[in-house]
Amino acid sequence: MLGRHPERFSVKALTAYGSRDLLLEQAKECGAQYVCLVGEHEGPDTGDVAYGTGPECLIEAATHPEVSVVINAIVGAAGLRATIAALRAGKRVALANKESLVMAGDLVTRAARDGGGEIVPVDSEHSAVLQCLSGRSVDEVRRLILTASGGPFREWSRDRLHDATVEEALRHPTWDMGPKITVDSATLANKALEVIEAHYLFKLGYGRIDVVVHPQSIVHGFVEFTDGSVLAQVGVPSMELPILYALTHPERLDDDGTPRFDPVTAGTLTFEPVRRDDFPAFALGVSAGTAGGTAPAVYNASNEVAVQAFLDGRIPFRAISEIMQGVLESHDVQPATDVEAVLAADAWARQRGELLCSSR
């Protein structure tokens, strides 16, 4: 996609945890001058490409003087420090790593304010809201409605979904994504994370952020304004447009490559309520968001641990939300005063979550 607009975009740095050969190949292809491999200790001789290793190289890439936009698509809590560093350095952060905002929403928004950085969501629902808002003040907004596909278990009975297998959970009906977020879509934890993300991005109280299940994933989000008017953003389920828009916001780029929308092909669009009682991870997340402080970081960490245990075949599907609930109930919520406090809560929740997983 970026390659379609060489006059507009050039890639300066690329980062990954592993897959060194693939990363170097990609760096060569797009002309990146700096590559960062978080999971390695020493770099190979790469000729004219500068090479960094270990978690610190993420910060180097995110604050690189020649970089103006940082796309943070790291999975999970590992993305937090890079988000904050980039914002403090005055960069635009195209944020796919929603966990940054979930764990430390106040700290991340403060970093943006202090450093003159800007957070633009890549998450499709939040991109939709941003596009519908088109610069209007939140004072003119009555509520946001984020859509949820409902995941692969939308129509499953509670009993059946208790013992859903990994293979079943990874069969997402509309979006093609990585395993962690696909399981989060199946439990609806992803939608709770997105409610928290929306709270910090758009500075709206939790009572003004609703979620509706929309199995076709064509409408990505709605904004209801105070006069009763409701705007929606629609498009085929593809991340190309949200990524492109995060780079060009508030402008729009003439681009022929993004998938086209046709209302006739899209056909019937349906909406239904979230089955909160059958997908407890959703309500748990919204409660953690409302509690604030370290609670969202604990929710996020316990989810990461429980989802990994499920993917490893160590716990059944129903245990994901049970473990999250167990961890949250034993957590003493503290103010999220700095990154250290957030990471301490994160580490505590991982340990507690692992303990609960292994005792099952």
* Residue at shortest CB range from Mg ion: 123
As a whole number of angstroms, the distance between CA 347 and CA 324 comes to 14
| Binding range to Mg ion, per CB under 5 A, among 82-90, 110-118, 123-131, 337-345 | 123-131
Inter-helix orientation angle 339-358/295-311, to 10°: 40
Shortest Å distance, C-beta 164 to Mg ion? 21
Tell me, by CB under 5 A, how many residues bind Mg ion. Answer: 3
In the complex, what is the shortest distance from the CB of residue 246 to Mg ion, in angstroms, rounded to a whole number? 13
Span near Mg ion by CB under 5 A; candidates 54-62, 124-132, 177-185, 338-346: 124-132
DSSP annotation of 258: S
Nearest distance from C-beta of residue 124 to Mg ion, angstroms = 5
User: Rule CB under 5 A: is residue 184 a binding residue for Mg ion?
Assistant: no
The minimum distance between CB 357 and Mg ion, in angstroms, equals 26
- The residue among 288, 308, 277, 352 whose CA lies nearest residue 169 is 308
123 binds Mg ion (CB under 5 A): yes
Could you tell me the two tokens for 39? Answer: 């999971």
Q: Which is nearer to Mg ion, 194 or 354 (CB)?
A: 194
Instruction: Give me the amino acid identity at 348.
Output: W
Residue with Cβ nearer Mg ion (54 or 173): 173
What minimum distance in Å lies between the beta carbon of 186 and Mg ion?
Answer: 14
Packed helices 124-133 and 240-248: angle between N→C axes, nearest 10 degrees: 50
Among 16-24, 28-36, 71-79, 118-126, which window interacts with Mg ion (CB under 5 A)? 118-126
Stretch 312-351 residues interacting with Mg ion (CB under 5 A) = none
- Nearer to Mg ion by Cβ, of 6 and 259: the residue is 259
Segment interacting with Mg ion (CB under 5 A) among 122-130, 175-183, 218-226, 307-315: 122-130
With contacts defined by CB under 5 A, name the span among 37-45, 84-92, 120-128, 249-257 that binds Mg ion: 120-128
Query: Between residues 221 and 293, which has the closer beta carbon with respect to Mg ion?
Result: 221
Q: Measured from the CB atom, is 127 or 325 closer to Mg ion? A: 127
Q: Give the Cα separation of 355 and 350 in Å (integer).
A: 8
**What's the CA gap between 137 and 226, in Å, rounded?**
11
The half-sphere exposure of 314 on its side-chain side, counting CA atoms within 13 A, is 16
Nearer to Mg ion among residue 161 and residue 192 (C-beta): 192
Name which of 314, 311, 316, 318 is nearest 354 in CA terms: 314
Stretch binding Mg ion (CB under 5 A), from 119-127, 131-139, 284-292, 312-320: 119-127
- Closest contact distance (angstroms) between CB of 274 and Mg ion is 15
Query: Is 327 exposed, middle or buried (CB count within 10 Å of its CB: 0-12, 13-18, 19+)?
Result: buried
* Residue 321: CA count within 13 A, CB half-sphere: 24
Sign of the Cα pseudo-torsion (213, 217, 219, 225, in order): positive
| Cβ closest to Mg ion, residue 90 vs residue 237 | 237
Q: What are phi and psi of 252, to 5 degrees?
A: -120, 140
Of 148 and 342, nearer to Mg ion (C-beta) is 148
- Range list of H helices, the chain: 20-30, 56-62, 80-88, 98-115, 124-133, 158-162, 166-169, 179-187, 189-202, 240-248, 263-266, 280-291, 295-311, 317-329, 339-358
Which is nearest to 110 in space by CA: 350, 305, 299, 342? 342
Burial of 187 (0-12, 13-18, 19+ CB in 10 A): buried
296 alpha-carbon distance from chain centroid: 14
125-154: which residues touch Mg ion (CB under 5 A)?
125
Site string for Mg ion, 77-116 (x = CB under 5 A): ----------------------------------------
Please identify, among the stretches 22-30, 40-48, 75-83, 117-125, the one whose residues bind Mg ion according to the rule CB under 5 A: 117-125
24/130 with CB nearer Mg ion: 130
Q: Which is nearer to Mg ion, 123 or 346 (CB)?
A: 123
> Interface residues with Mg ion (CB under 5 A)?
123-125
